[in-house]
Amino acid sequence: MVFTMDYTAHPERKTTFECTVEALGLQHVRIPRRSPWRNGIIERSNRTDNAECFRRQEFTSSEERRYMHWLWEMEYNTHRSRRGLDGATPFAVFRRNYPFHPASMGPTPHS
């Protein structure tokens, strides 16, 4: 997903994301370039994705890579408990905190 065209050959163009943010009257704020320490949560997520998903197998296409990442992400969020969440999975905490969110209404993931 491309969030901005600012660093491309056509910075005057807007992505779907930028148009949506603008239409909703929101402001998209970015951290300065080359300062990953300002965005530790995402950097940690990227490191975990790389170590536990992308570097463990070879992919034959971008589509396969996206699909395998989706499968891995579902496993990570629904089956792996976290000490920081008192032994719960991220999905269990989400369901507890947002019981009326449409994503919480679906079937319970298998254990």
Predicted pLDDT of residue 57 = 92
Name the residue ranges covered by the structural domains of the chain: 1-30, 37-104
pLDDT > 70? residue 23: yes
Categorise residue 34: left if φ over 0, alpha if ψ from -120 to 50, beta otherwise: left
Neighbour count for residue 9 (Cβ, 10 Å): 6
Residues 6+ positions from 80 with CB-CB distance below 8 Å: 89
Round to whole Å and give the CA distance between 25 and 57: 42
- Give residue for tokens 């704020």: 29
pTM, two decimal places: 0.62
Per residue in 38-95, pLDDT (tens digit) is: 888 888 889 999 999 999 999 999 999 999 999 999 999 999 999 999 999 999 999 9
